[in-house]
Amino acid sequence: MNYDVHKIRSYFPVLKQEVYGKPLIYFDNAASTQKPVQVLMALERLQNDYYGNIHRAAHYMADKATEEFEAVRDKVQQFINAESREEIIFTKGTTESANLVAASFGEQFLKPGSEIIVSEMEHHSNIVPWQINALRKGAKIVKLPVSESGELQTGLLPELISSKTKLIAVAHVSNVLGTVNPVAQIIETAHKRNVPVFVDGAQAVQHIPVDVQELDADFYAFSAHKMYGTNGVGVLYGKRKWLEQMPPYQGGGEMIAEVSFEKTTFSEIPFKFEAGTPNITGVIAFGAAIDLLQETGVENISAWEQELLTYATSQLKAMEGLRIYGEAPKKSGVISFNIAGIHPFDLGALLDKTGVAVRTGHHCADPLMKHYDIPGTVRASFGMYNTKEEIDRFMQALKKVVQMLA
Ligand code: PLP
């Protein structure tokens, strides 16, 4: 395969690090990715050359910052193929995007007795906001269950959807199982019953090409820091027809048309949902991350990560007592596993001492842990810069650690 991973690695200075005297192997990309020089340079350029608060000033610095900030909205629109730039709202991250929809859509559309269908494999950030707002409105959460292999039981959807169903919330890709959910099919089923779908794309956009119009998603959320940008920046895509009906999420500067003590009128979308000064530097640097993803080609990254997934999975499966959670035929480069008789935290802590960064614990997915009746897993998650050599070193380290703990 013609994928120059060494060129890509050269963009990420941090990967040359040693930890505890060992070369860093960073397999915690589902939690957050490392940042390339393009992003670091964009951050520095903005701070050094043209920093100013956006949208409301009549001077060069603010104009230039505004121009660059708004150009990233166009980039995001194009990246996910949204119909219009006004459907792209900048948030702090996927969590805030979910909270925005839960609060605002919830305020407008939930009534006592309404139901929201939420999948069992969701990250807490796609469960708790719905619960909080369901409680406020006297609505109820209905679970879409997961099978043993880690797939959503979408066949149950026609039964679960009723006249009370107001929305379905589902991840495009599970952060624990790696399962790529059939969101297009879920959306089609939901739309037949006029139910909108909120898709959590936090683990998808950096790994698989996403076209929100082709999916026909009503809402789609993701975080820049998981796609080689900085933390504190996220996106909420929403179809115009929903966003225009939804009340503001937060009040403040920028989101208003006119304010008096008697009455306030609000801006049009997207500004209606962007109260206050946003993460100007983070958004502009996010543009550089999107450029890198597009230059490399998300489909090429996807193919590369599939090679890594297959390579690592076959070696892990050969280990005695090892169970992988999530064996769906369509998976992204996330492998959660446990080894019989060893606590995942002990494995993670000792792997760390060999330079391997993996995540251990419940991965903010308690209901899924309860489903499998486990306290947590070890999770290795790959990014565009990982290599098969790193997997070889990880496997050697893992075998050594298991011997020590056995
Ligand atoms: N959804 C999924 C599937 C995730 O993996 C994560 C983070 O790990 C989130 C949502 C929350 O993202 P953030 O913390 O960037 O808001």
pLDDT in tens, 159-187: 999 999 999 999 999 999 999 999 999 99
Write out the DSSP string of 323-384. EEE---SSB-SEEEEEETTS-HHHHHHHHHHTTEE-EEE-TT-HHHHHHHT-S-EEEEE--T
Structure tokens at 301: 């990254």
- Provide the pLDDT confidence category of residue 360 given band limits of 50, 70 and 90: very high
Q: Is the CB of 125 under 6 A from ligand 1?
A: yes
**Going by DSSP bridges, is the β-strand pair 197-200/165-171 parallel, antiparallel, or unpaired?**
parallel
C-beta of 119 in contact with ligand 1 (< 6 A): no
Quick one: average pLDDT of 46-69? 92
Element (H, E) at 258: strand 256-259
CA of 170 relative to ligand 1 center, distance in Å: 12
Query: Between the CA of residue 78 and those of 81, 196, 302, 327, what are the distances in Å?
Result: 5, 22, 19, 32
Q: Look at residue 57 and tell me whether its pLDDT is greater than 90.
A: no
The pLDDT value given to residue 212: 98
**Half-sphere exposure in the Cβ direction for 255 (13 Å, CA):** 16
Mean pLDDT along residues 108-130? 98
Strands 219-223 and 197-200: parallel
Atom number of ligand 1 nearest to Cα 95: 16
Q: What is the DSSP letter of 146?
A: B
Which domains, ranges and CATH numbers included, belong to the chain? Answer: 5-30+297-405 (3.90.1150.10), 40-294 (3.40.640.10)
Q: What is the pLDDT of residue 91?
A: 98
What's the pLDDT band for 406 if we cut at 50, 70, 90? confident
**Cβ of 197 below 6 Å from ligand 1:** no
Binding site membership of 386 for ligand 1 (Cβ less than 6 Å): no
Choose one of 94, 127, 146, 222 to mutate for the ligand 1 pocket test, by most ligand atoms within 8 angstroms of C-beta. Answer: 94
Q: Where are the beta strands (DSSP E) in 102-245?
A: 115-119, 140-144, 165-171, 197-200, 219-223, 234-238
Question: From the CA of 30, how far away is ligand 1's center (Å)?
Answer: 8
Mean pLDDT score across all residues of the chain: 97
Q: Is the CB of 28 under 6 A from ligand 1?
A: no
pLDDT at 1 over 80: no
CA of 171 relative to ligand 1 center, distance in Å: 10
Ligand 1 and 223: CB distance under 6 A: yes
Let me know if 62 is a catalytic residue: no
| pLDDT score recorded for residue 143 | 98
Q: How far is the CA of 95 from the centre of ligand 1 (A)?
A: 6
Residue 33 Cβ inside 6 Å of ligand 1? The answer reads no
Give the atom of ligand 1 at the shortest distance from the alpha carbon of 174.
Answer: 3
Catalytic option among 224, 351, 364, 398? 364
Bridge partner residues of 213 (DSSP)? none
pLDDT of residue 56: 80
165: left (phi over 0), alpha (psi -120 to 50) or beta: beta
Interval 342-371 mean pLDDT: 97
pLDDT average, residue stretch 231-248: 98
103: left (phi over 0), alpha (psi -120 to 50) or beta: alpha
- Taking the C-alpha atoms of residue 343 and residue 71, their distance in angstroms, rounded to an integer, is 47
Tell which residue, 208, 207, 185, 206, has the closest CA to residue 197: 185
Cα(58)–Cα(173) distance, integer angstroms: 43
Tell me how far the alpha carbon of residue 94 lies from the centroid of ligand 1, in angstroms.
6
Average pLDDT for residues 204-220, to the nearest whole number? 98
**The pLDDT of residue 112 is above 90:** yes
How would you class 141 by CB atoms within 10 Å of its CB: exposed for 0-12, middle for 13-18, buried for 19 or more? middle
pLDDT digits (tens, 9 = 90+) for 64-102: 999 999 999 999 999 999 999 999 999 999 999 999 999
pLDDT at position 65, please? 94
Dihedral sign, Cα of residue 70, residue 75, residue 78, residue 82: negative
* CB of 368 closer than 6 angstroms to any ligand 1 atom: no
Looking from the CA of residue 96, the nearest atom of ligand 1 is 16
Token pair listed for 182: 């059939």
pLDDT of 302 above 80: yes
